[in-house]
Chains A and B, each alone.
Chain A
């Protein structure tokens, strides 16, 4: 955006948004908009070719992100954002593919796809906005809802164990795993930038307030209260063992960058192995890609 436009009153983020669809549908005080801003900042700072960046979302409140971001964007079926992104990436390896979806979409119905994409070390950046419930449909219990929290399908409190998403990601084979809260604005941006610079399966969980549902049902205040609370309860422990990252209801949140390693991606493995076995008959797929 030109400098004159900024002074005339055009928010610089508007270059990256579909302004004909703003204002968005998220509630007042919802943290998803904050994560989108952090994401837009990361897109700008990392200076990647935005024409070669695609964003894929599933269904849910966070799933609506694809509809607001001005990249090649896809709003797919519930839980299937990751395999869709896999197909997209394999068809055109030059693309940088980001999966931006919610905890229910990625770890609930999409759980199987999540672990397999991590296992294969698919070159994807997965941003999971975790608000501890299925918000869009009215606040039902999710695979990440802390034990004892209230949800519309757990009206007496949740009695199940939740997932620890960084643990799941690392155990499945992700090469970059980080967790932040929505208020860790610039740290979220930095994590996303680092993920853009890496190849392989990068997973960033951002814990976000859900005002209308999770906060209301659990009497946790409004968006600001919960945003503040998550930030205050968070403790940065870079490199912590992902086995210790469970979230107890209104308990401590351990945040930071937990895993950052290098491992050949799916395409690297495919090219290397088939090249070895087939020799001249095989031409490496995907060409140069960074």
Chain B
């Protein structure tokens, strides 16, 4: 039996396609855990893509994946958390 207090937080691994990003800043703004930050580097097209400030805070809420207009960022569940989870685990 799993009690409410014992429920483990999901942890996400963030994948960013830097060259597809157009630096709009939506993901950075709306990440509930402030995991992302705009970087100073330039991508191929001259935009500033985000970088992952602290991935440990990522809760796998997938908001960045849902909000990105460029399909440039997505999250996967960290491997060790996937026991008992089905593949396409979306809430």
Binary interface encoding of chain B residues 40-52 relative to chain A, with 1 for a CB under 8 A from any of its CBs, else 0: 0000000100000
Please report the C-alpha to C-alpha distance between residue A34 and residue B73 in the assembled complex, in whole angstroms: 12
Within 8 Å CB of A224, what residues of B?
A: 24-26, 29
Within 8 Å CB of A24, what residues of B?
A: 70
A12-20, A89-97, A170-178: which lies at the B interface? A12-20
Query: Is B26's CB under 8 angstroms from A14's CB?
Result: no
A6 CB within 8 Å of chain B: yes
Query: Is A11's CB under 8 angstroms from B87's CB?
Result: no
CB proximity of A186 to chain B, nearest CB, Å: 7
Query: Is A11's CB under 8 angstroms from B74's CB?
Result: yes
Query: Is B74's CB under 8 angstroms from A223's CB?
Result: no
Within 8 Å CB of A222, what residues of B?
A: 24
Closest to B29 in A: A224
* Pick from A11, A28, A34: contact of B67, CB under 8 Å: A34
Chain A interface, DSSP helix/strand/loop, else mixed: helix
A227 CB within 8 Å of chain B: yes
A290 CB within 8 Å of chain B: no
Query: Is B67's CB under 8 angstroms from A185's CB?
Result: yes
Closest to B91 in A: A186
Query: Is A29's CB under 8 angstroms from B69's CB?
Result: yes
Query: Is B69's CB under 8 angstroms from A23's CB?
Result: no
B68 CB within 8 Å of chain A: yes
Query: Is A22's CB under 8 angstroms from B71's CB?
Result: yes
A261 CB within 8 Å of chain B: no
A246 CB within 8 Å of chain B: no
A26 CB within 8 Å of chain B: yes
Query: Is A33's CB under 8 angstroms from B47's CB?
Result: no
Binary interface encoding of chain A residues 236-265 relative to chain B, with 1 for a CB under 8 A from any of its CBs, else 0: 000000000000000000000000000000
Within 8 Å CB of A7, what residues of B?
A: 13, 76, 79
Query: Is B23's CB under 8 angstroms from A28's CB?
Result: yes
Closest to B70 in A: A33
Closest to A28 in B: B22
A30 CB within 8 Å of chain B: yes
B59 CB within 8 Å of chain A: no
Binary interface encoding of chain A residues 20-46 relative to chain B, with 1 for a CB under 8 A from any of its CBs, else 0: 001110111111111011100100110
Within 8 Å CB of A287, what residues of B?
A: none
Within 8 Å CB of B23, what residues of A?
A: 28
Query: Is B66's CB under 8 angstroms from A185's CB?
Result: yes
CB proximity of A270 to chain B, nearest CB, Å: 39
CB proximity of B61 to chain A, nearest CB, Å: 11
Q: Which of B24, B29, B67, B87 has the most CB of A within 10 A?
A: B24
Binary interface encoding of chain B residues 53-86 relative to chain A, with 1 for a CB under 8 A from any of its CBs, else 0: 0000000000101111111111010010000000
Task: For chain A, residues 205 to 242, give those with C-beta under 8 angstroms from any C-beta of chain B.
Answer: 222-224, 227-228
Within 8 Å CB of A186, what residues of B?
A: 66
Please report the C-alpha to C-alpha distance between residue A37 and residue B87 in the assembled complex, in whole angstroms: 20
* Pick from B15, B24, B65, B73: contact of A29, CB under 8 Å: B24
Q: List 13 A-B contacts (CB under 8 A).
A: A6-B76, A7-B79, A13-B71, A17-B71, A23-B22, A27-B22, A33-B71, A34-B69, A37-B65, A37-B69, A44-B88, A223-B24, A224-B25
Given A3-B88, A29-B25, A45-B90, 16 other A-B contacts at CB below 8 A?
A2-B87, A9-B15, A9-B17, A11-B71, A11-B74, A17-B71, A23-B20, A28-B23, A29-B22, A29-B26, A29-B69, A34-B69, A37-B65, A37-B67, A183-B30, A228-B29
Which 6 A-B pairs have CB atoms at the shortest separation, nearest pair first? A33-B69, A28-B22, A29-B24, A11-B74, A3-B87, A185-B66
